[in-house]
Amino acid sequence: MTRESLKNKKERVRRIYEILDPLYTREKTALEYRTPFQLLIATILSAQCTDKQVNQVTKTLFEKYKKPEDYLKVPAAELEEDIRPTGFFRNKAKSVRGCSQGLLDFYGGEVPQSMEEMLKLPGVGRKTANCVLGAAFDVPGVVVDTHVKRLALRLGLTENQDPDKIEKDIGELLPTERWRRFSDILIYHGREVCKARKPDHDQCAVRELCPSKGI
Ligand code: SF4
């Protein structure tokens, strides 16, 4: 199989973007939050969990825990119980407490606005950082979650499995100002059409631009 040139790939991505962009909502996240700190906590809780379920939990959680200190002054088991319905609650509680401690230690309790600073927080990886920076501060970034990874591979935008490499590969194909929106578009398209188990090629608006339409 001949390798697609970067120029062709960029043009294909431009067309995919133009076709899918009008089909999906422009809301940056379905997670409910009022402050960057709340968004950071909600994003940590959203791993392997639906946004709807996270919103249900954070409705009461954010009443009880308002500042990073609040997550640290309760016993770990109490926080675990409070976030239990989001799944993987022990690990998530550890991340929430770790990142709360990091915010207090490094940034006076405020959420920082750069990738470099975010990655110093325990429990915060590039995906979480990109979600928060993009939605709360409009910092451009490619969010690579499970949908983006799957679609990037199916659409032939990367050959890598590693999310950090996929982020870089996608980033090279689009202008910076489109990074965030393109991630969102792929997430919506992945949830609604290009599903993990059964991609609906027949209903896919970018079928003609996809090398995997026959899988
Ligand atoms: S053609 Fe199929 S594999 Fe390609 S993006 Fe559409 S649904 Fe996914």
What pLDDT shows up at residue 30? 87
Give strand pairing partners of 199: 194
CA distance linking residue 25 with residue 27, whole number of Å: 6
Q: Residue 182: is its pLDDT beyond 60?
A: yes
Which residue of 201, 203, 208, 215 sits with most ligand 1 atoms within 8 Å of its CB, as the best mutation to test the pocket? 201
Confidence (pLDDT) at 29: 83
The verdict on the CB of residue 190 being under 6 Å from ligand 1 is no
pLDDT confidence band for 214 (50 / 70 / 90): confident
Burial 36-60 (b: 16+ CB within 10 A, else e): bbbbbbbbbbbbebeeeebbebbee
**Ligand 1 contact via 14 beta carbon (within 6 Å):** no
Note the CATH architecture for domain 6-27+141-209.
Answer: Orthogonal Bundle (1.10)
Question: Percentage of the chain with pLDDT > 70?
Answer: 99
Mean of pLDDT over the chain: 95
127 is catalytic: yes
Residues 126/134, Cβ–Cβ less than 8 Å: no
Question: What's the pLDDT at 215?
Answer: 67
Q: What is the mean pLDDT of residues 2-21?
A: 94
The closest of 183, 162, 169, 167 to 26, measured between CA atoms, is 183
As its CATH architecture, domain 36-137 has Orthogonal Bundle (1.10)
**Domain positions in the chain:** 6-27+141-209, 36-137
Atom of ligand 1 nearest to the CA of 154: 3
Q: Average the pLDDT over 113-125 and give the result.
A: 96
Binned at pLDDT 50, 70 and 90, residue 207 comes out as: very high
Tell which residue, 29, 42, 10, has the closest CA to residue 183: 29
User: Model confidence over 41-64: pLDDT tens digits?
Assistant: 999 999 989 999 999 999 999 999
Q: Is 210 near ligand 1, meaning CB less than 6 Å away?
A: yes
Asked if 66 contacts 76 with a C-beta cutoff of 8 angstroms, the reply is: no
